[in-house]
Amino acid sequence: MWGKLFRWGVFLGLIGAACYWVVTRPTTLDLEQIAALAGDAEAGQIVFIAAGCASCHARESISGDEKLVLAGGQRFPSDFGTFVAPNISMDPDHGIGSWNQSDFLNAVVKGVSPTGKHYFPAFPYTSYNKMTLQDGAHLWAYMQTLSKSGAPSQPHEIAFPFSIRRNLGGWKFLFLSQDWVAAAPTPTLERGRYLVEALGHCAECHTPRNALGALDTARWMQGAPDPSGKGRVPGITPAILGWVEADIIEYLFSGFTPEFDTAGGHMANVIENTAQLPKEDREAIAAYLLALPN
């Protein structure tokens, strides 16, 4: 009787382990899909700006050309511990200079490192997975042109059990999706959606999360507690924000709110990016936000 139970236990345990192994296995892009992609640095600059890479990977509280040195070091407190942005400059030892284009694309759209480890979703591949692979290749080409930094990346300060990267495979299985959230029936809305939901990864801060840290798409852009634990990130749906199109466009350009306060904190970084985009892109973002359900 006990022997039979034991055998069943082992059997079920093995099935469980096999399921865990399959579900949590890092998956990468099909090499054939990306081998032929050629990036253009000039086109990549817009992707870089829209995706806000420097906002997190440059040192904190700097502006201008210094922001193009992606030395890492900014700290991001969360419910799961503190993430520290790594050096993603082209330094071959401390940055990502030894990577190839496939490594880069797998990191950005799959959240998988060149050694086959899952990245924590503090790196917003949860949004970047909607980026076109061609834009990813452009981005890679542009990043080659930026200055190197020899600053070593600092380890994340994440406690057990969240520190087990393999478990992130399960998280990805449950929550990672390439589906768009909002409908985009016009070319302007489609561009706006691409900028907001994919490159700009606006929802990562403006949408609340569930207990496991996944975005609650039912409350899309309705505002969320600031992950630092201090203050709130405001909701930006039409009803919550209450801004007209001209207000949003001006804010994304000069940073002035309709009350003539200005963006501060991390949003000031975002404005430094959106101000550099073509005017049509700011208009597309405004159109997208104004088309969101209340």
Partner 1 sequence: MRQSILAFASVSLITTTVAFAGGHGGNPAVNARNAHMSLYGFNLGILGDMAKGTTEYDSALATEAANNLAALAAFDQTAYWIEGTEQDAALGSRAKAEIWSDAAGWEEQMKAMEDGAASLAAVAGNGLEALQGGMRVAGSACGSCHKAFRGPRN
CB 132 within 8 A of CB 46: no
**How far is the C-alpha of 273 from the C-alpha of 127, rounded, in Å?**
17
Among 249, 277, 284, 287, binds partner 1 (CB under 8 A): 249
Work out how close the CB of 20 gets to partner 1 at its nearest, in angstroms, rounded to a whole number.
39
Q: Between residues 4 and 230, which has the closer beta carbon with respect to partner 1?
A: 230
Q: Are strands 75-78 and 157-158 parallel, antiparallel or unpaired?
A: unpaired
Structure tokens at 2: 């006990």
225 binds partner 1 (CB under 8 A): no
CB nearer to partner 1: give 75 or 117: 75
Helix, strand or coil, per DSSP, at residue 75 = strand
Per-residue binder mask for partner 1 (CB under 8 A), 263-282, x = binder = xxxx-xx-xx--x-------
Distance between CA atoms of 36 and 41, rounded to whole angstroms? Answer: 16
Alpha-carbon radius of gyration of the chain: 20
Residues in region 55-74 near partner 1 by CB under 8 A = 61, 63
Position 228 contacts partner 1 (CB under 8 A)? yes
Single out the residue of 97, 253, 290, 291 in contact with partner 1 (rule: CB under 8 A). Answer: 253
Tell me how far, at minimum, the Cβ of 150 lies from partner 1, in Å.
24
Q: How many CB atoms lie within 10 A of CB 11?
A: 10
Q: What's the gap between Cα 46 and its chain centre? A: 16
| Contacts to partner 1 by CB under 8 A | 61, 63, 226, 228, 230-232, 246-247, 249-250, 253-256, 259-266, 268-269, 271-272, 275
